[in-house]
Structures are given as structure tokens and as C-alpha cells.
Amino acid sequence: MSRVVYTPQSEAFNPKRVLKAMALGLIQSRYMALRLVVKDIKSDYSKSQFGLIWELIDPLVLGFIFYSLMRTRVINPGETHMPYAIFIIYGLLMYATFVESVMRMVNLVKNSKSLLSQLKLPPEALILSVLFRIAFNCFFRLAVMLFFSLLLRNSALASGQSAFNLVGFLKFLLLFPSVILVGAAIGLFFAPLNAIYSDVGTALRIGLGPYRYLSPVLWPLPLTGLWAYVHAVSPISPLFLDLRMLATNDVMHYPGHFAARILLFGGVFLFAWFIFHISIVVLSEKA
């Protein structure tokens, strides 16, 4: 007859067992995560006539404002290698994806408190459900990017610029999840703290507002002086610059920086996932 022995030793001292449980949870919770996403989407849009359109209005309106300011020469964005309308549409929608990835992950425990109190869910089901939901929203953002790229393609060619490159856009689609990876890694890293101190999530939400003006979202940043340092330490600057250039010109200017961000934040995500897995029971009680 087998015996179960309980000890006060933390799971963190047996990382092999935790990693095995993480992999098993990832495989077993796919269907559960999908059901959570469907339930979440129905809950969000059951009483809304416009649904996801509301998510697109904010970046499109802000983009139109800055495009109008550029046309009236109130601002001078400099050389963008593509129509400025394409530059800001891609920038704003990619930034919306980054912000959504951060905030959905950082609020993961707080938003799932009722589920955790009623059901015994593996942590991987919650993480996967967030990633599936972000991917669902990204489908519409990518469709908007493609639409405007094709719409402005001929006018861009007439002015000696490029708004769309088929091969480059396919590469863009392949590498676009890197934006989600960086945002999800940051959000999941701070999720345990936010479950205990909600000020963490509030600070991130407030900070991400002005951060878009320190990133190549609305204009290309000069890569000299202080801005060169900002570009070097920014988690998203090389991603945005290269992804935009890929989609329109099939060119990458910072492949080394791009790869470094993927490796760094891939490691951060795995570490944060490990911590989240071993602390979910305590976090669900604290939230």
C-alpha cells in the first residue's frame, strides 16, 4: 500500500517535478483554456453591438490625429521609409497588442479569482486562456494592418515608398508573436505581486500610457544621444522598427537586437511561469 508523505519543503526545491507538472498541465489544459476564452468573449460582447470595433477605435482615432498633424506640418516625423499613415497604424496596433498582453497577464489572478474559488484549475489553463484571447484580438488588428497596406500600396509606390511586401508580410506574421511574448513575460512576471498589491497593476497601466511616446510608435526615434540609450534598453523598440520594415519593405535593420529580445523575454516568461505555477494556491487566496 502506497503512502503519501507531506513535508514543509517547497516545490521550488524540486524543479524537475515542477517542470514536468508544467508541461503536463500545458498539454492537459488546452481544451479547458479554449472553453474559458469562448466564455470570456461571449461575456464581453453579448450585450455589445459593435464588439471588437471598440478596441480598434482608440488607436485608429489617435492615428488619424497624428496623421492630420503631420499633413498640416504641425509635427515632422522624419524619414519613415513608408507612408506615415502605415507607420502609425502598425505602431499603434502593435502597441495595443503589447499593452493588452501586459495587462491581461498582470491581472490574471485577480480576474480569475471567482474561477479559482469554484474550480481546481491548473495554472497553465489560465495562462493559455489569456494567450488565446490575445491571439483572437490580434486577428482583427492584423486584418486592419493588411487592409491599409493594400489600400495605400499604389499611392506609396507612386511616391517612391512601399506600403506592402508579400514575402515581408508573411515574415511579419511569423514574427509578430514576439510582441505578445514580451508583453506576456512582463505581465506574468508582475502577476504574483499584483495579486497581493494591486498598486503594481495600476502603476503598469499608468506607465504604459506615456511609454508609447518614448517608443517608435508614432514617430521614428533618433538613434543618437539619449535616444540611442532608450533604443538600446527598450524591450519593444527594435521589435517595432523591424516588424514594420518587414511588412512593408522585407528588411530588418536590427536582427541581433530582435533575437536578443526574444531570447531574453523567452527566459523571463519561463521563469515567471515557474514562479506562477508554484505560487498559484497562495496567490488565489491573497487576490
pLDDT band at 10 (very low <50, low <70, confident <90, very high): low
User: Which amino acid, residue 48?
Assistant: S
Distance CA 85, CA 63 (A): 7
In a domain, residue 227? The reply is yes
In a domain, residue 24? The reply is no
pLDDT single digits (tens) 273-283: 999 999 988 88
pLDDT value, residue 182: 98
pLDDT band at 1 (very low <50, low <70, confident <90, very high): very low
Instruction: Tell me if the pTM is above 0.75.
Output: yes
In a domain, residue 29? The reply is no
pLDDT single digits (tens) 203-236: 999 999 999 999 999 888 887 788 888 888 899 9
pLDDT value, residue 9: 56
Alpha helices in the chain (DSSP H): 15-28, 30-45, 53-71, 84-106, 108-111, 113-118, 123-151, 153-158, 166-175, 177-196, 199-211, 226-233, 237-249, 255-286
pLDDT value, residue 287: 61
pLDDT value, residue 2: 42
Residue tagged 489553463 (cell numbers): 125
Pick from 58, 45, 248, 65: which is nearest to 141 by CA?
A: 58
pLDDT single digits (tens) 58-95: 787 878 887 887 778 777 777 888 989 899 999 999 99
pLDDT value, residue 8: 52
In a domain, residue 36? The reply is no
What integer best gives the mean pLDDT of the chain?
88
pLDDT single digits (tens) 119-158: 678 899 999 999 999 999 999 899 889 988 998 899 889 9
Polymer length in residues for the chain: 287
Calculate what percentage of the chain has a pLDDT beyond 90: 58
**Are 26 and 270 a contacting pair, CB within 8 Å?**
no
Say whether pLDDT at 250 is over 90.
yes
Considering only residues 202 and 85, tell me which one the structure prediction assigns the higher pLDDT: 202
pLDDT value, residue 5: 47
Distance CA 258, CA 263 (A): 9
Distance CA 169, CA 155 (A): 18
Pick from 80, 61, 56: which is nearest to 248 by CA?
A: 80
pLDDT value, residue 60: 78
pLDDT value, residue 101: 98
In a domain, residue 150? The reply is yes
In a domain, residue 6? The reply is no
In a domain, residue 188? The reply is yes
Say whether pLDDT at 37 is over 80.
yes
Say whether pLDDT at 52 is over 80.
no
Question: How many structural domains is the chain composed of?
Answer: 1
**Structural domain range at position 261:** 55-286
In a domain, residue 197? The reply is yes
pLDDT value, residue 15: 85
Residue tagged 506592402 (cell numbers): 164
CA 111 from centre of chain: 18
Q: Mean pLDDT throughout 159-184?
A: 96
Alpha helices in 119-218 (DSSP H): 123-151, 153-158, 166-175, 177-196, 199-211
